[in-house]
Amino acid sequence: MINIGVIGYGYWGPNIVRNFSGLEGAVVQSVCDMNSQSLNRVHKAYPHIHTTHDCGDILNNPGIDAVAVITPVSTHYELAKRALLNGKHVFVEKPFTETIAQAEELVEIAERKKLTIMVDHTFIFTGAVRKIKRLIEEKALGNLYYYDSTRVNLGLFQSDVNVIWDLAPHDFALMDFLVDEKPAAVAACGKAHVNGLEDTAYITVHFNNNMIAHFNVNWLSPVKVRTTFIGGEKKMLVWNDLENDEKIKIYDKGVEVTNRESVYNLRVGYRSGDMHAPKVDPIEALKHETEYFIKCITKGERPENDGHAGLRVVKLLDACNQSMKQNGQMVNV
Ligand SMILES: NC(=O)c1ccc[n+]([C@@H]2O[C@H](COP(=O)([O-])OP(=O)(O)OC[C@H]3O[C@@H](n4cnc5c(N)ncnc54)[C@H](O)[C@@H]3O)[C@@H](O)[C@H]2O)c1
């Protein structure tokens, strides 16, 4: 049985406590939040769980095996480091840390002490993404041409990071999971309209092969959109995460060049075949992810979304900030 302490019970923390509480191999022993109202919510939902305002009660408790850090980004490094130094496994929210150096240090401590770090890259545990991964591996889409994501909504404004660090970790983590080729460079443009942090941003990701990716991330959108287009030479796919039933649609559409003799005579044939919407596993991603965390700890396995994966994402986010400072110039990664 793995005893868990959760730090942070704001917007996302309740999902983490609910999922760990539902597992056979884990017990949530204690929840910490600086805010008394948050702790009242814990009391109401889980009267048996110990609550505290002092994270030291969790970090220094020898009875706790693993700590979930579900607090704002600016606190991840310090809390995760204290947990690791006290011999505890760590489940930490995305983005892993605020800086590359912090992420590297946490990875080093975990490896030295043989502890597990799992960074909550939630979407890679969705049924839709698992299905997309299989399609890509089976070459059903053919070589990939592009990955194009729109992730926009009104808010939630973060006080410590810009919209890229809030929303783009999802896309960078997804691409890290789905695509073998790793990004070579990024270019990002963004503007701050409200609180001094960029709330609207456009990111282009370049690869050494012919693939290209683009993310549109925005806290000032009148409607919520979570749509990703993945184009391949054989088929194209649209993943709309807000759809209930048909989250993924695969289009047998594409182009075929029939004559390449000269630019003037280039003949392009358009293929427009059937569309189908495969069934995807409807189970909540966090259920799979929290189960996987416990399995990795008990079996000593290294998670796909370990500290190294978190570090790769932080490096890309850092490159985006550098690019924004240089008015959107391409930054190598
Ligand atoms: N994986 C996802 O899909 C997903 C979704 C939303 C948020 N998140 C991530 O979860 C983290 C938290 O986001 P949120 O929206 O829940 O924020 P939030 O502000 O709603 O909640 C954070 C909570 O942490 C508490 N807190 C802060 N510092 C603390 C400390 N030192 N000790 C104890 N309690 C402390 C605050 O009182 C607050 O209740 C962020 O890293 C965010 O990026 C991930």
Burial state string for 276-303 with b = 16 or more CB within 10 A and e = fewer than 16: eebebeeebbbbbbbbbbbebbeeeeeb
Peptide bond into 174 cis (omega under 30): no
Pocket test for ligand 1, best of 33, 42, 74 (most atoms within 8 A of CB): 33
Q: Which atom of ligand 1 is nearest to the CA of 55?
A: 32
- pLDDT tens-digit series, residues 113-169: 999 999 999 999 999 999 999 999 999 999 999 999 999 999 889 889 999 999 999
Give the tokens for residue 205.
């990701």
Confidence (pTM): 0.96
Residue 135, SS3? helix
Looking at residue 220, the DSSP 8-state letter turns out to be E
- Report d(CA 282, CA 224) in Å as an integer: 21
Ligand 1 first shell, C-beta below 6 A = 7-13, 32-35, 38, 55, 70-73, 75, 93-94, 120, 122
Give residues with Cβ within 8 angstroms of 186, minimum separation 6. 203, 204, 205, 206, 316, 319, 320, 323, 330, 331, 333
Pocket test for ligand 1, best of 30, 93, 293 (most atoms within 8 A of CB): 93
Give residues with Cβ within 8 angstroms of 64, minimum separation 6. 3, 4, 5, 29, 30, 58, 88
Low-confidence ranges of the chain (pLDDT < 70): 260-265
Give the tokens for residue 258.
């029939």
Residue nearest to atom 4 of ligand 1 (CA): 12
In sign, the C-alpha dihedral spanning 260, 262, 267, 268 is positive
- pLDDT tens-digit series, residues 102-115: 999 999 999 999 99
Residue nearest to atom 15 of ligand 1 (CA): 11
Residue nearest to atom 7 of ligand 1 (CA): 12
Cβ–Cβ under 8 Å, residues 68 and 5: yes
CA of 3 relative to ligand 1 center, distance in Å: 21
Give residues with Cβ within 8 angstroms of 56, minimum separation 6. none
CA of 38 relative to ligand 1 center, distance in Å: 11
pLDDT score of 270: 87
CA of 234 relative to ligand 1 center, distance in Å: 41
pLDDT score of 25: 93
In sign, the C-alpha dihedral spanning 126, 27, 10, 99 is negative
